[in-house]
Amino acid sequence: MAKNLTPRKSDYSRWYNDLVIQADLADNSGVRGCMIIKPYGFAIWEKIQAELDHRFKETGHVNAYFPLFIPKSHFSKEADHVEGFAKECAVVTHYRLKNNPDGPGIVVDETAKLEEELIVRPTSETIIWDTYKKWVQSYRDLPILVNQWANVVRWEMRTRLFLRTSEFLWQEGHTAHATENEAIFEAKQMLDVYGDFVEEHMAIPVVRGTKSSNERFAGALETYCIETLMQDGKALQAGTSHFLGQNFAKAFDVKFQDKNGEMNYVWGTSWGVSTRLMGALIMTHSDDNGLVLPPKLAPTQVVIIPIYRGEEELLKLDAVVKGLLEKLKKIGIRVKYDNRDTYKPGWKFNEYELKGVPVRIAIGPRDLEKGTVEVARRDNLSKESVKLEMLDSHIESLLNEIQEQLFIKSKVSLEDNIHIVDNWNSFKLALDKGGFVSAHWDGTPETENKIKELTKATIRCIPLNNEKKDGLCILTGNPSSERVLFARAY
RNA sequence: CGGGAUGUAGCUCAGGUGGUAGAGUACACGGCUGGGGGUCGUGUGGUCGCAGGUUCAAGUCCUGUCAUCCCGACCA
């Protein structure tokens, strides 16, 4: 049992914080809301990045990089967009410091004031659309399918490691198309890329849907999203894909000549996922002993711990393990042999449990005699004895089983926590229980706002492939054509 | 951004009414150990978040500031 990890039951958000710090994923920094992603946390992020990048390229996208700074004038061109982000922008006003003439330290050099302030990007639509204007003349220049991996800054009031930080890492795709249908197809396609990745790779089940107008991206006509449910019953938006219509094209005057020689505005999309996925990963699978990682994302999938007394015994084990390592690496398993003499076996067990390594192999003199090893799973903490000669195939299928089991477990939990309600009282009760609440809504922003005010719950999404079935709005009793999912959210 | 709390050794914290800085843990060295964070001994380690102020004297009192946590508002 971990020493200082707060149990989930006693304080879920403290458990989360403790876990992030103790599992060596990230730490707070000296700058408000900005985190240090530590090597172990970053290794997991790199796994996420690598797989997503692969999937983006499989769907025809290419990577590029745009500047961190956005001139203020660009930023203000799309009205809804400004409205949405203005309150949380970091602004660069000067470009030089000087020694404090009145004492120690260093001060801003007031003579070095920028003519036009620069905004640190909270997202890159504006600078990218300003660029696309130069890239697009003809239908032959379309589509543009660009992604960038970057950091962005949003001056958040209340931050939490990975879930909401002032600076975060993400990717943002920005595409431009000749037709509306093509752009809508793209936005939906990317939602599926996200959904499939999160389910298959992160073992996190998602609900795919669209946002209500209240929750829609500033400047978008439609926001598609994947929503997930955390262990404490709160929802977490894991990714979004926006159909931008011609809003940004019009704001930045991005026109092209079509096959008939007519001038048209291009159609756009943007889509992104961020280091917030790390938060989703942590909160979906982990337990009171620490992190639980799905094998596909674990930087180390298998750790081998020798148990011995004296150097002689260790040397014997080293020789046996050497062969095991070769066998496991040959079939593509990320395995680590921790034969450090500076830590004891019990300490190591706890350490790798805290860090969520999916499989632990312990090998000692007793095993050598019997020709076996002890194999322990992180997800359900079970242990078994496995014959040495069977080990590689056993581990391979075990990793697959763990990946699958983690998904099934969270999927069951998600489904068990979608509550269907038809009146206001049970609506409130269901929200207090946690989870998604499926209810009718009259489709107006006013009603959604009122519900938010009364319950702190928002519409997380209107599920795609939702059953169209008439009903009455949970609050107003007005007619509604389908159910939507409400929840309290991160 | 409003309310509350906190900031002292790497970490967790103790230090009434101002008077030479403490513990546990971690770390270093050594012994016994080793199948779930072992144990005994010795030792290293602190401009008390930062900047001012009051005072003969400030970890302690005052002002400001930065950061963290909790509650609220905000959060494409």
Q: State whether ipTM is beyond 0.90.
A: no
- Residues A310, A382 within the same domain: yes
pLDDT over threshold 90, residue A442: yes
CATH code where residue A367 lies: 3.40.50.800
At residue A105 the predicted structure's pLDDT band, cuts being 50, 70 and 90, is low
- Strand B contact at CB of residue A17, distance < 7 A: yes
Among A25-29, A140-144, A282-286, A326-330, the minimum mean pLDDT is found in A25-29
Contact (Cβ atoms closer than 8 angstroms) between residue A70 and residue A81: no
Q: Assess if residue A188 is contained within a domain.
A: yes
Looking at the structure, do residues A201 and A58 belong to the same domain, yes or no? yes
Q: Is residue A147 part of a domain?
A: yes
**Packing angle of the helix pair A424-433, A445-455 (nearest 10 deg):** 60
Q: Which nucleotide is nearest to A31 (CA to C1')?
A: B67
A98 touches strand B (CB under 7 A): no
Does residue A28 lie within 7 Å of nucleic acid chain B, judged by its CB? Answer: yes
List pLDDT tens digits, range A210-250: 999 989 998 999 999 999 999 989 999 999 999 999 999 99
Q: Which amino acid is at A6?
A: T
Give me the residues paired with residue A236 across strands: A228
Q: Which of residues 56-85 of A touch strand B (CB under 7 A)?
A: 84-85
A185 and A326 fall within a common domain: no
Q: Is residue A192 part of a domain?
A: yes
- In angstroms, the CA of A309 and the C1' of B31 are apart by 16
- Which is more confident, A7 or A389? A389
- Where helices occur in A125-273 by DSSP H, the ranges are 125-135, 180-200, 247-252
Residue A453 pLDDT: 87
**Which pLDDT tens digit goes with each residue over A21-79?**
889 999 888 788 888 899 999 999 999 999 999 999 999 999 999 999 999 998 888 88
Mean pLDDT of A130-153: 96
Residue A246 domain boundaries: 12-66+123-285
Q: How far apart are CA A1 and CA A142, in angstroms?
A: 57
Residue A478 predicted with pLDDT over 60: yes
Model pLDDT, residue A102: 66
Helix (H) or strand (E) holding A368: helix A365-370
Q: Which of A82-96, A307-321, A442-456 has the lowest mean pLDDT?
A: A82-96
Q: Give how far the C-alpha of residue A164 lies from the chain's centroid of Cα atoms, to the nearest Å.
A: 11
Residue A265 lies in a domain: yes
- Using pLDDT thresholds of 50, 70 and 90, give the confidence band for residue A7: confident
Domain co-membership, A353 together with A254: no
Are A195 and A59 contained in the same domain? yes
- End-of-domain residue from the set A362, A395, A428: A395
**pLDDT recorded at residue A1:** 35
What's the pLDDT score for residue A103? 63
- For chain A, give the percent of residues with pLDDT over 70: 98
Q: Which pLDDT does position A64 carry in this prediction?
A: 97
- Tell whether A129 and A198 lie within a shared domain: yes
Asked if residue A373 belongs to a domain, the reply is yes
Please check whether strand B approaches the CB of A447 to within 7 Å: no
- Please check whether residues A249 and A158 belong to one and the same domain: yes
If asked whether residues A355 and A254 sit together in one domain, one would say: no
Residue A386, in any domain of the structure: yes
- Residues A269, A368: one domain? no
Boundary residue ending a domain (A339, A364, A395): A395
The interaxial angle of helices A39-58 and A276-285, nearest 10 deg, is 110
Task: Based on the fold, state whether residues A455 and A366 are members of the same structural domain.
Answer: no
A100 domain-assigned: no
Q: pLDDT tens digits, residue range A260-313? A: 999 999 999 999 999 999 999 999 999 999 999 999 999 999 999 999 988 889
Provide the domain count of chain A. 3
pLDDT at residue A2, rounded to an integer: 42
Q: Which nucleotides of B are covered by protein (CB under 7 A)?
A: 1, 33-38, 51-52, 66-76
Supply the CATH number for residue A456's domain: 3.30.110.30
Å between CA of A353 and C1' of B26: 20
My answer on whether A129 and A254 are in the same domain is yes
Domain boundary among A251, A285, A319: A285
What integer pLDDT is reported at residue A362 of this predicted model? Answer: 96
Q: What is the CATH number of the domain that holds A128?
A: 3.30.930.10
Candidates A175, A135, A136, A128; CA nearest to A270 is: A175
Give the percent of chain A with pLDDT over 90. 77
Residue A402, domain member (yes or no)? no
Same domain, A144 and A223: yes
Tens digits of residue pLDDT in A121-130: 999 999 999 9
